[in-house]
Amino acid sequence: MQDQEVKLLGTWSSPYVLRIRWALRIKGIEYEYIEEDLRNKSPLLLEYNPVHKKVPVLVHKGRAIAESLVILEYIDETWRDNPLLPRDPYDKAMARFWCKFGEEKLSPPIWRVFVTQGEEQKQAYASAMENLEILEKELEGKRFLSGEAIGLLDIFFGSLAYIIPMYEEIIEMKLVDPSKLPWLSKWMEEFLNSPVVKDTLPQKDKLLPRYLAIRDTFLAKRE
Amino acid sequence: MQDQEVKLLGTWSSPYVLRIRWALRIKGIEYEYIEEDLRNKSPLLLEYNPVHKKVPVLVHKGRAIAESLVILEYIDETWRDNPLLPRDPYDKAMARFWCKFGEEKLSPPIWRVFVTQGEEQKQAYASAMENLEILEKELEGKRFLSGEAIGLLDIFFGSLAYIIPMYEEIIEMKLVDPSKLPWLSKWMEEFLNSPVVKDTLPQKDKLLPRYLAIRDTFLAKRE
């Protein structure tokens, strides 16, 4: 049945698209992947995500869903095996709380560290470190953020695990220093090397120039 | 049983706290309301929401939950009668999508219209109108954002329905003009006059000076 098909619209380097790929893989769902060129958006993307015109977009039975966290919850509620979220409402609330924390408190300063320099970068760095330490405390004593297995929280923060080492290499600054954030550092390594994630990551020699160009573009804008 | 009790930590003027009051009322849940003074935060608030130190906080069976949307979903999953979210995963995803839209695209420019002036305000106004028109289209033909009855989406955007008329009065500018946004305008009126909402709203003569002071504080910071 054609309309049973699952499609994913993405771009190869996007950390948000990777979240969906990991979730679909954990669930064992076959899907068609459609690469988008964001400088030349396809009619399909504009039709499926008219509000934001961004990836990822998941299309299931011909109906489109946008926003990575919304897609992750949809996947978990539609295919119930290998749950990504705990079933208990309180535990689920905690997972959602930490996702919101990541989105609002962690991703923005880490992004700013990457695309600024000087005093602005210093301030962003202080804010990133403060919030990474909060996450470190939350992770203490656990193997994964979701407990003993990779779950929604790991997938959600996994986009940072994927992007941080590249940021660190480009700006020559350590964000997740094993001596200061041992749990996070260990988690990042284990997550990135897990069977679910390992061979989904873009090659570094392809990724690095892409992100170098992004940083240069942002720095140029601010001059 | 003491630990079965539901407590809500809030401040009387907060639109986010009102969301939780509306949801608890729809569900018919008795609760103890604890007023917080955010200039002098209580040990209870610091204990229950150490990460953000903000209201609302819901405490159920001695366990605390923060962030209004997270609380709303918890309430809906814990007390199943009078559902706030649709049960179908796709419809649920759509509701979550629009909440995210409200949080990211609508609330920030509306807030900026309120606390700025001149060119900055003009830009914020344009952005607010653009996104209000998107919401208007989404609402077209419906009584409530959630359909025929008040649901999570109405509660979520209800905080804007509550705050916008006051902003409009203070800055002497129309955001939701009935001639331009007829569906939104009608929805706002019906929502604010609904039995669930009506007598929960703070008195205007108490609220207005509070928000006037907020605007003055922000304008002074920018000078």
Task: Report pLDDT for B96.
Answer: 98
Contact state of B70 with A93 under an 8 Å Cβ cutoff = yes
Per-residue pLDDT of chain B (223 residues; tens, 9 = 90+): 445 699 999 999 999 999 999 999 999 999 999 999 999 999 999 999 999 999 999 999 999 999 999 999 999 999 999 999 999 999 999 999 999 999 999 999 999 999 999 999 999 999 999 999 999 999 999 999 999 999 999 999 999 999 999 999 999 999 999 999 999 999 999 999 999 999 999 998 999 999 999 999 999 987 7
How many domains are there within chain B? 2
Q: Residue A53: inside a domain, yes or no?
A: yes
Task: Report pLDDT for A1.
Answer: 47
Task: Report pLDDT for A72.
Answer: 98
Q: Residue B70: inside a domain, yes or no?
A: yes
Task: Report pLDDT for B4.
Answer: 66
A6 in reach of chain B (CB within 8 A): no
Contact state of B67 with A134 under an 8 Å Cβ cutoff = no
Residues of the domain holding B54: 2-78
Tokens 């929401």 sit on residue: B49
A169 and A214 belong to one structural domain: yes
Write down which residue in A78, A103, A131 finishes a domain. Answer: A78
Q: Are strands A63-66 and B6-10 parallel, antiparallel or unpaired?
A: unpaired
- Interface confidence (ipTM) of the complex: 0.94
Closest to B154 measured CA to CA, from B112, B109, B193, B108: B193
Contact state of B77 with A65 under an 8 Å Cβ cutoff = no
> How many CB atoms within 10 Å of residue B158?
27
Write down which residue in B49, B78, B107 finishes a domain. Answer: B78
Write down which residue in B51, B78, B105 finishes a domain. Answer: B78
B104 and B207 belong to one structural domain: yes
CATH number at residue A199: 1.20.1050.10
3 state SS of A110 = helix
B115 and B164 belong to one structural domain: yes
> B4, B58, B60, B65: which to substitute to probe chain A, counting the most A Cβ within 10 Å?
B65
Spell out a b/e string for A144-176, using b for 16 or more CB atoms within 10 Å of the CB, else e. bbbeeebbbbbbbbbbbbbbbbbbbeebeeebb
Tell me the H-state helices in chain A: 15-27, 43-48, 68-78, 89-101, 107-115, 118-139, 152-171, 182-192, 204-222
CATH number at residue A59: 3.40.30.10
CA angle B138, A100, A53 (to 5 degrees): 40
Task: Report pLDDT for B3.
Answer: 52
Helix axes B68-78, A89-101, angle to 10 degrees: 170
Task: Report pLDDT for A3.
Answer: 52
Nearest CA in chain A to B63: A90
Q: Which residues pair with A35 in a beta bridge?
A: A10
Per-residue pLDDT of chain A (223 residues; tens, 9 = 90+): 445 699 999 999 999 999 999 999 999 999 999 999 999 999 999 999 999 999 999 999 999 999 999 999 999 999 999 999 999 999 999 999 999 999 999 999 999 999 999 999 999 999 999 999 999 999 999 999 999 999 999 999 999 999 999 999 999 999 999 999 999 999 999 999 999 999 999 998 999 999 999 999 999 987 7
B154 and B100 belong to one structural domain: yes
A205 CA: distance to closest CA in chain B (Å): 34
Q: Residue B83: inside a domain, yes or no?
A: no
A62 and A131 belong to one structural domain: no
A55 in reach of chain B (CB within 8 A): no
3 state SS of B13 = coil
Q: What is the pLDDT of residues B130-158, one digit of tens each?
A: 999 999 999 999 999 999 999 999 999 99
Task: Report pLDDT for A222.
Answer: 78
Task: Report pLDDT for B1.
Answer: 47
B211 CA: distance to closest CA in chain A (Å): 25
Q: Residue A67: inside a domain, yes or no?
A: yes
Task: Report pLDDT for B222.
Answer: 78
Contact state of B93 with A101 under an 8 Å Cβ cutoff = no
Q: Residue B84: inside a domain, yes or no?
A: no
A128 and A217 belong to one structural domain: yes
Q: Which residues contact A137 (CB under 8 A, 6 or more apart)?
A: none
B47 and B27 belong to one structural domain: yes
